[in-house]
Amino acid sequence: MSKLSWKGGAMLSPLPVVMVTCGGDRIGADGAAMPSGFAPNAVTVAWCGIACTQPPVVYISLRPSRHSYRIIEETGEFTINLVTSAMVRSADSCGVYSGRDADKIKKFSLATEPSATGKVGCPSLSASPLTLDCRVIRKIPLGTHDIFLADVLGVGVDPAIVDGNGKLHLDRAHLAAYSHGEYFELGRKLGDFGFSVRRKTRGKATQKGGGVKK
């Protein structure tokens, strides 16, 4: 296939849709919660991803002009809230309005709750099926956006997406994705990791001697 040649651009797709909460309380050096000096806030972020598995490190990218940028820079903590299809309208609204102009938590009737892990002082969104409590370890200035690298201190999980054996089923969460200005709900499963090289079993049991049971 012959492709068109365009100038370089940040055209990765699809991307996760997450709402980042910050402000409210913060956890001090002694592990106790104390006022952060900022009201709780929520900001919608699409520039978000995994940087490392062990230790678990994630990143979010924010413009320095964002209200949440200063809050996270000052408090050093935030919570990533995964967004479901039912949360998309709220997520879009939080991406349009600034916390400088309105209390977005109240304006969009966002139900919040304390961190499930107690590792951060900022609230999480009650509607989110999975939340990641994060502490900033480094800020990297780039250009239009700066990256906040953060340790994942703990994860809050809705019991509705965990089965009786403790297995997580994110496919039950109706998560949303973002693709160049449009929101989509994740849909049809195509396979599991490694399915392309996994040997197929046909219900035949192999004997110790190498034969096949009839």
Residues 67-83: tens digit of each pLDDT: 999 999 999 999 999 99
User: Would residue 156 count as lying in a domain?
Assistant: yes
pTM (two decimals): 0.89
User: Would residue 102 count as lying in a domain?
Assistant: yes
User: Would residue 138 count as lying in a domain?
Assistant: yes
3-state secondary structure (DSSP) of residue 213 = coil
User: Would residue 7 count as lying in a domain?
Assistant: no
Mean per-residue pLDDT of the chain: 91
Total count of domains within the chain:
1
The parent domain of residue 92 ranges over 15-185
User: Would residue 162 count as lying in a domain?
Assistant: yes
User: Would residue 137 count as lying in a domain?
Assistant: yes
User: Would residue 196 count as lying in a domain?
Assistant: no
User: Would residue 213 count as lying in a domain?
Assistant: no
The CATH code of the domain that includes 54 is: 2.30.110.10
Residue 80 carries which side chain, given as an amino acid letter? I
Distance (Å) of CA 92 to CA 17, 126, 153? 10, 17, 27
Picking from 182, 145, 187, 169, the residue whose alpha carbon sits closest to that of residue 49 is 145
Picking from 40, 43, 76, 67, the residue whose alpha carbon sits closest to that of residue 148 is 76
List, in order, residues 6 or more apart from 160 with CB less than 8 Å away.
129, 172
